[in-house]
Structure 1
Amino acid sequence: MVNIDEEPKDTRIERHASWAELFFDLVAVAGVAALAHVLGSEPDAAALGLYTLLFLALWLSWTTFMLYGNVAAGQTRVLRLMVGMFGLGVMAASVPGVAHTVLGHGGDTLALDVFAIAYIATRVYGSKSWQRGAVLLDFPVVQYSLGLLPWFASLWAGEHWKLALWAAGIGLDLLLILVLSGSRILQRIQSYLTAPERTRRRSRSGVRPDGMGPVIHGVSADPAHLSERLGLFVIIVLGESVVQVVAAASEARYDIGLLATAIASFALLAGMFGLSVVFGYAGLPHLRAGRIPIRAALGLHCLVTGVVATVAVPLSLVVGHGSDPLSEQGRWLLCGAVAAYFTLGVVTGVASHGSDLPRTISRVVTGIAAPLLLGLLATPVSGRMLVVYLALIVLAHLWFERRPWPR
Structure 2
Amino acid sequence: MDETTPTGAGHGRAVVARVRIRARSRTEPHRASTPLELLFDLCFVVAVAQAGSRLVHALTGGHPGHGISGYLLIFFAIWWAWMNFTWFASAYDTDDVLYRIVTLVQMSGVLVLAAGVPRAFDDADYTVAVVGYLIMRLALTFQWLRAASGETGPERTVALRYAAGLVVVQLGWVGLVLLPGSLWIGGFLLLVVAELAVPAYAEHVRRTSWHPHHIAERYGLFTLIVLGESISAATVAVQSALDESAALDLLLPVAAGGLLIVFAAYWNYFAVPIHQHLTSNRQSFVWGYGHYAVLGSAAAIGAGIEVVVEQITHHTDLSARAAAGCVTIPTAVFMITVWAVHTRHFKTGLAQHLVLPIGALAVLACTPAGHLAVPLAGLVSACTVAAGVRPAASR
TM-score (norm. length: structure 1): 0.76
2:395 matches 1:403: no
Distance of 2:158 and 2:325 partners within structure 1: 39
Contact residue 291 and residue 351 of structure 1 kept, 8 A:
no
Cross-structure match for 2:284: 294
- Answer yes or no: is 1:33 the counterpart of 2:49: yes
Measure, in 1, the Cα distance between the counterparts of 2:313 and 2:53.
23
Q: Which residue of 1 aligns with 2:375?
A: 388
Q: How far, CA to CA, are the matches of 1:150 and 1:96 in structure 2?
A: 23
Q: Evaluate the alpha carbon distance shift between residue 85 and residue 388 of structure 1 in structure 2; reply closer, same or farther with a 3 A threshold.
A: same
Q: Please list every run of 5 or more consecutive structure 1 residues that lacks an aligned counterpart in the other structure.
A: 103-108, 187-217, 282-286
CA deviation profile, 1:341-380 (whole Å, cap 9, x unmatched): 12113323332236x2121233322x222123334xx1xx
Deviates more, 1:264-273 or 1:328-337: 328-337
The answer to whether the aligner puts 1:69 opposite 2:61 as a matched pair is no
- For 2:309 and 2:326, locate their aligned partners in 1 and report how far apart those are by CA, in whole Å: 15
2:106 alignment partner, one of 72, 79, 84: 84
Partner of residue 354, structure 2: 361
Structure with the higher helix share, 1 or 2? 2
Whole-angstrom distance in 1 between the partners of 2:88 and 2:79: 14
Provide closer, same or farther for how the CA distance between residues 264 and 20 of structure 1 changes in structure 2, counting only shifts above 3 A: same
Kindly indicate whether the alpha-carbon contact (under 8 Å) linking 2:48 and 2:299 is maintained by their aligned counterparts in 1. Answer: yes
Deviations 1:133-172 (CA, angstroms, capped at 9, x unpaired): 446979x868722433331212322334344423321132
1:373 maps to what in 2?
365
**Whole-Å Cα distance in 1 between the matches of residues 351 and 49 of structure 2?**
38
How far apart, CA to CA, are the structure 2 residues paired with 1:136 and 1:388? 53
Contact 2:112 2:131 in 1 (8 A): no
Question: 1: distance between equivalents of 2:23 and 2:121?
Answer: 44
User: Offset at 1:61?
Assistant: 1.1
Could you tell me whether the CA contact under 8 Å between 1:44 and 1:329 is conserved in 2? no
Does residue 118 (structure 1) correspond to residue 110 (structure 2)? The answer is no
Return the letter of the residue paired with 1:397: T
Quote the sequence identity (%). 19
Give the counterpart letter for 2:346 in structure 1.
Answer: S
Distance 2:380 2:300 in 1: 18
* In structure 1, C-alpha distance between the alignment counterparts of 2:257 and 2:194, rounded to whole Å: 40
Amino acid at match of 1:362: V
Secondary structure at the aligned position of 1:382 is classed as helix
Instruction: State the distance in 2 between where 1:344 and 1:135 align.
Output: 35
CA distance in 1, matches of 2:255, 2:91: 41
Query: Contact 1:128 / 1:143 at 8 angstroms: preserved in 2?
Result: no
Check the 8 A contact 2:308/2:320 in 1, yes or no. Answer: no
CA distance in 1: counterparts of 2:158 and 2:339, whole angstroms: 27
Q: CA deviation at 1:66?
A: 1.9
Following superposition, the deviation at residue 317 of structure 1 comes to: 1.8
Which whole-Å CA distance do the structure 1 matches of 2:219 and 2:189 have between them?
25
CA distance in 2, matches of 1:121, 1:288: 31
C-alpha contact (below 8 Å) 2:324/2:370 kept by paired residues: no
3-state DSSP of counterpart to 1:220: coil
- Partner SS, residue 32 of structure 2: coil
AA of the residue aligned to 1:27: C
Cα RMSD of the aligned pairs, angstroms, is 2.9
User: Aligned runs of 1:254-293 on 2, under 5 Å?
Assistant: 254=245, 255-277=248-270, 279-281=271-273, 287=274, 289-290=276-277, 293=283
Counterpart of 1:402 in structure 2: which amino acid?
Answer: V
Separation in 2 of the partners of 1:323 and 1:57?
33
**Offset of residue 248 of structure 1:** 0.6
Matching residue of 1:180: 201
Q: Equivalents in 1 of 2:357, 2:101: separation in Å?
A: 46
Alpha-carbon spacing, 1:100–1:165, altered in 2? closer, same or farther (3 Å)? same
CA drift of 1:90 comes to 0.5
Shift of 1:323: 8.1
On the 8 A contact 2:31/2:214 being kept in 1, the answer is yes
* Whole-angstrom distance in 1 between the partners of 2:234 and 2:249: 16
Partner of 1:204: none
Q: 1:349 aligns with which of 338, 343, 350?
A: 343
1:222 corresponds, among 206, 211, 218, to 211
Q: How many residues align?
A: 347
- Describe the SS at the equivalent of 2:30: coil
Give the alignment partner of residue 22 of structure 1, picking from 38, 52, 56: 38
Aligned to 2:234: 245
1:13 counterpart SS class: coil
TM-score by length of 2: 0.79
Deviations 1:167-210 (A, max 9, x none): 32113223445x5361x335xxxxxxxxxxxxxxxxxxxxxxxx
